Amino acid sequence: MQQADKYQIGYYPVSNPPMLWAQKDHLESPPIWCSVDLRDGNQSLIVPMSLEQKLEFFQFLCKIGFKEIEVGFPAASETEYTFLRALIEQNLIPSDVTIQVLTQSREHIIRKTFDSLQGCHTPVIVHFYNSTSTAQREQVFKKSKEEIKKIATDGATLIKKLSQEYDGNFRFEYSPESFTGTEPEYALEVCNAVLDILQPTAQQPVIINLPVTVAMSMSHVYANQVEYMSMNLHHRENVILSLHPHNDRGCAVADTELGLLAGADRVEGTLFGNGERTGNVDLVTLAMNLYSHGIDPKLDFSDMPSVVAQYEKATKMQVYDRTPYAGALVFAAFSGSHQDAIAKGMEWRKQHNLYQWNVPYLPIDPADVGREYQTDVIRINSQSGKGGIGYLLETRFGYHLPAKMREDFGYKVKAVSDHNHKELSPEEILEIFCQSYLNLSRPVEISVPEYTLLENNTHKAEFTLQSAGVFKTCSAVGNGRLDAACNAIRQGTGMDFSIITYSEHALEQGSTSLAAAYVGLQWKSGAITWGAGTHTDIMTASIHALLSAINNK
């Protein structure tokens, strides 16, 4: 990268900025949202959407909750003209939704734009623009500052005149395109000249949009520019200050959030940031960032998998697995320490009956965006730990393994994943559990024990034991039925072990529910083996668990 010296700063920072926005640490309300997926987003696709796809996507955006939707550049494209006419003629625009159309600040394009809106009985934002940056003035238009400002004011004059001649409910939006490459004082001069012509009122506010047409600076510089405009625009009380950030520097979300702190009221962007070059600002991330701070964004992403599916169907693009809030893996924890912390955090919430969300490693509740804990959060591979593996077995299948048994089981699962170089599904994990511990009847097997309660409150167990093809009748006395059965097996086999862990619980509710039992045995050598058993009778489940632990020796 030896040619970095050919690049220079192309933006104009505000002199002595007050930076009042920097004193705020969070946003307090959502902005006005405007989706530009059907215009800015669509023009960036390799294969633009068909008319049918656009109509379906428009209805999808309405369903999410967008109240302002830019539908195209009708004067510049026959396809976009046809789409706009279809929305109007088929009465597909909800009464509470305002469509937006884009036009250059050029007379013949503005006139054609108004022609395309004939018969529209719902509110329309006519968004006109011209580029004001130094590079565009000098290299593209070869015009002076006055000449560039006149393009803007001529457009404003014509748009105001036509809005009175055509039947419709028209609102106005002006963008000094390439705002980030424009001197702030000049951008303000142009915008104020436009506002003085349009004369916004409380009933008919005007939108001034400050686009990051090309991102050039760090986010705080843009925030200073936005604050400067917000503090110095004419008719500010009747102006809706809007942002339209692009993502060339990967800072579109930061640019937007700081711009909102700096006084902006509105944001134009796209779902998942689809747009020209590096993309537009990602409205999903912005909205969910607000949600994670306790603010209702007024957009519905409660079924994020469906939102992703609809977006991918229409755009033929893919939402990256690590896309904030929406990617398939954004809540997934493979790391053992992460899984353990999440599992303990979820248990803490359950024990304390908490409403407020504060679970380690999860900025929001995955269920709020339609994700499942068992399939989307705890994911098992060779990096996973006993906590996550045990949590999955518990929440998905109901098995509450003792702590030390969880550790033993965790090593078995990780070994399988490591050997096969793959993530394991919950069903595969259950299979490993069953094969490793559950109701193991070989090589030692016993018949159903018969128990007798003796006068001294001890129990006698008697059964037939089979091992290596040899049958033997065994009996012994113990403090309880399980203790008596242990003593009988020891005497019948000569094995030397002791029970160090025993636990049990119901797997299901109801009179015919299964019970689960877990047994940990320590052998004379110091080795520990584990077993699990299930049965409708808890004592039988305990014997199954004991035999499973023995058979694991």
Q: What is the CATH number of the domain that holds 275?
A: 3.20.20.70
Q: What is the pLDDT of residues 187-212, one digit of tens each?
A: 999 999 999 999 999 999 999 999 99
CB 156 within 8 A of CB 128: yes
Same domain, 61 and 128: yes
Which of 128, 132, 137 has the alpha carbon at shortest distance from 155? 128
393 assigned to some structural domain: yes
**Per-residue pLDDT, 455:** 82
Give 315's pLDDT tier (boundaries 50, 70, 90).
very high
Residue 377 in this model has a pLDDT that exceeds 90: no
Q: CB under 8 Å to 480, separation ≥6 — which residues? A: 459
331 assigned to some structural domain: no
38 assigned to some structural domain: yes
Same domain, 427 and 448: no
**Per-residue pLDDT, 17:** 96
**Per-residue pLDDT, 422:** 87
Number of domains forming the structure of the chain: 3
Same domain, 371 and 512: no
320 assigned to some structural domain: no
Q: How many helices (H) and strands (E) does the chain have?
A: 17, 15
**Per-residue pLDDT, 374:** 64
Q: What is the mean pLDDT of the chain?
A: 93
Same domain, 133 and 271: yes
**Per-residue pLDDT, 221:** 98
Same domain, 252 and 122: yes
In the predicted model, what is the mean pLDDT of residues 378-389?
72
165 assigned to some structural domain: yes
Give 391's pLDDT tier (boundaries 50, 70, 90).
confident
Same domain, 473 and 429: no
Same domain, 430 and 450: no
Same domain, 70 and 121: yes
Domain boundary among 435, 469, 498: 435
156 assigned to some structural domain: yes
51-64 and 304-315 are packed helices; what angle lies between their axes, rounded to 10 degrees?
A: 160
Q: What is the pLDDT of residues 69-114, one digit of tens each?
A: 999 999 988 989 999 999 999 999 999 999 999 999 999 999 999 9
Give 308's pLDDT tier (boundaries 50, 70, 90).
very high
- What does the angle CA 298 – CA 301 – CA 302 come to, to the nearest 5 degrees? 110
Give 356's pLDDT tier (boundaries 50, 70, 90).
very high
Residue 381 in this model has a pLDDT that exceeds 80: no
What CATH number corresponds to the domain at position 466?
Answer: 3.30.160.270
Same domain, 363 and 288: no
CB 544 within 8 A of CB 534: yes
Domain of residue 120 covers 4-315
**Per-residue pLDDT, 380:** 74
Q: What is the pLDDT of residues 131-152, one digit of tens each?
A: 999 999 999 999 999 999 999 9
116 assigned to some structural domain: yes
Give 385's pLDDT tier (boundaries 50, 70, 90).
low
Q: Which amino acid is residue 395, in one-letter code? A: T
Give 509's pLDDT tier (boundaries 50, 70, 90).
low
Same domain, 36 and 122: yes
Q: What is the pLDDT of residues 321-349, one digit of tens each?
A: 999 999 999 998 777 788 888 888 988 99
**Per-residue pLDDT, 382:** 66
Same domain, 357 and 491: no
Give 125's pLDDT tier (boundaries 50, 70, 90).
very high
Domain boundary among 315, 348, 382: 315
Q: How many CB atoms lie within 10 A of CB 157?
A: 13
Q: Which amino acid is residue 542, in one-letter code? A: S
**Per-residue pLDDT, 168:** 93
327 assigned to some structural domain: no
212: tokens are: 């990051």
Q: What is the pLDDT of residues 474-507, one digit of tens each?
A: 999 999 999 999 999 998 888 999 999 999 999 8
Same domain, 360 and 222: no
Domain boundary among 383, 409, 435: 435
Measure Cα distances from 192 to 37, 162, 175, 197 in Å. Answer: 29, 21, 12, 9
Q: Which amino acid is residue 411, in one-letter code? A: Y
